[in-house]
Amino acid sequence: MNLQETLSDNVKQATKSIFNVELDTVEFQATRKEFAGDITLVVFPLLKFIKGNPVSIGEQIGMHLVENVKNVKGFNVVKGFLNIEINDSYYIEFFDKIKNDTSFGILNPKLDDKAVMVEYSSPNTNKPLHLGHIRNNLLGYSVSEIIKASGKKVYKTQIINDRGIHICKSMLAWQKFGNKETPESTGLKGDKLVGNYYVKFDQEYKREIKELIADGQTEEDAKKQAPIIVEAQQMLQKWEAGDLETVALWEKMNGWVYEGFAETYKNLGVDFDKLYYESQTYLLGKEFVAEGLRTGVFYKKEDGSVWCDLTPDGLDEKIVLRSDGTAVYMTQDIGTAIQRAKDFPDVGGMVYTVGNEQEYHFKVLFLIIQKLGFDWAKNLYHLSYGMVDLPSGKMKSREGTVVDADDLIDEMTETAGHISEELGKLEGYSDQEKNELYKTIGLGALKYYILKVDPRKRILFDPQESIDFQGNTGPFIQYTYARIQSILRKATLDQSASLDINYKMHEKEKELLKQIQIFPEAIQNAAQNYSPALIANYTYDLVKEFNSFYQNVSILGADTSEEKYFRVQLSRAVSTIIKNAFGLLGIDVPERM
Mean pLDDT over 532-558 rounds to 97
As assigned by CATH, the class of the 3-86 domain is: alpha beta
Q: Is pLDDT at 157 greater than 90 in this prediction?
A: yes
Query: In the prediction, which pLDDT does 396 show?
Result: 46
Q: Is pLDDT at 549 greater than 70 in this prediction?
A: yes
Q: Is pLDDT at 401 greater than 70 in this prediction?
A: no
In three-state secondary structure terms, 458 is: coil
d(CA 344, CA 498): 46
Query: In the prediction, which pLDDT does 253 show?
Result: 97
d(CA 550, CA 479): 13
Q: Mean pLDDT lowest for which of 2-6, 18-22, 187-191, 556-560?
A: 2-6
Domain range annotation of the chain = 3-86, 164-274, 405-584
CA distances from 321 to 160, 234, 286, 305, 326 (A): 21, 21, 8, 6, 6
Query: In the prediction, which pLDDT does 284 show?
Result: 81
Query: In the prediction, which pLDDT does 463 show?
Result: 81
Q: Mean pLDDT lowest for which of 202-216, 284-298, 564-578?
A: 284-298
As a whole number, the mean pLDDT across the chain is 93
Mean pLDDT over 26-47 rounds to 93
Q: Is pLDDT at 174 greater than 50 in this prediction?
A: yes
Mean pLDDT over 53-60 rounds to 95
Mean pLDDT over 142-160 rounds to 97
Q: Is pLDDT at 150 greater than 70 in this prediction?
A: yes
CA distances from 95 to 90, 513, 559, 564, 572 (A): 9, 7, 21, 15, 12
Query: In the prediction, which pLDDT does 280 show?
Result: 86
Q: Whole-angstrom distance between the N-terminal and C-terminal Cα of the chain? A: 40
d(CA 274, CA 169): 28
Query: In the prediction, which pLDDT does 397 show?
Result: 43
Neighbours of 590 (CB within 10 A): 17
Residue 226 identity (one-letter amino acid) = A
Query: In the prediction, which pLDDT does 184 show?
Result: 97
Mean pLDDT over 19-37 rounds to 92
Cβ neighbors of 512 (< 8 A, separation 6 or more) are: 542, 545, 546, 549, 570, 574
Query: Do the beta carbons of residue 577 and residue 519 sit within 8 Å?
Result: yes
Mean pLDDT over 6-11 rounds to 94
Q: Kindly state the percentage of the chain with pLDDT values over 90.
A: 82
Query: Do the beta carbons of residue 308 and residue 297 sit within 8 Å?
Result: yes
Mean pLDDT over 534-547 rounds to 98
d(CA 58, CA 54): 6
142-155 exposure pattern, b = at least 16 Cβ within 10 A, e = fewer: bbbbbbbbbebbbb
Query: In the prediction, which pLDDT does 283 show?
Result: 78
Query: Do the beta carbons of residue 23 and residue 81 sit within 8 Å?
Result: no
Query: In the prediction, which pLDDT does 1 show?
Result: 62
Query: In the prediction, which pLDDT does 394 show?
Result: 45
Q: What is the pLDDT of residues 454-486, one digit of tens each?
A: 999 999 888 888 888 889 999 999 999 999 999
Mean pLDDT over 523-527 rounds to 98
The two beta strands, 39-42 and 299-300, are unpaired
Architecture of domain 405-584: Orthogonal Bundle (1.10)
Query: In the prediction, which pLDDT does 495 show?
Result: 64
Q: Mean pLDDT lowest for which of 271-285, 404-418, 494-508?
A: 494-508
Query: In the prediction, which pLDDT does 327 show?
Result: 81
Q: What is the pLDDT of residues 221-240, one digit of tens each?
A: 999 999 999 999 999 999 98
Query: In the prediction, which pLDDT does 389 show?
Result: 82
CA distances from 72 to 6, 24, 26, 79, 504 (A): 11, 22, 17, 20, 16
Residue 502 identity (one-letter amino acid) = N
Q: What is the pLDDT of residues 62-99, one digit of tens each?
A: 999 999 999 999 999 999 999 999 999 999 999 999 99
pTM for the structure as a whole:
0.91
Query: Do the beta carbons of residue 208 and residue 232 sit within 8 Å?
Result: no
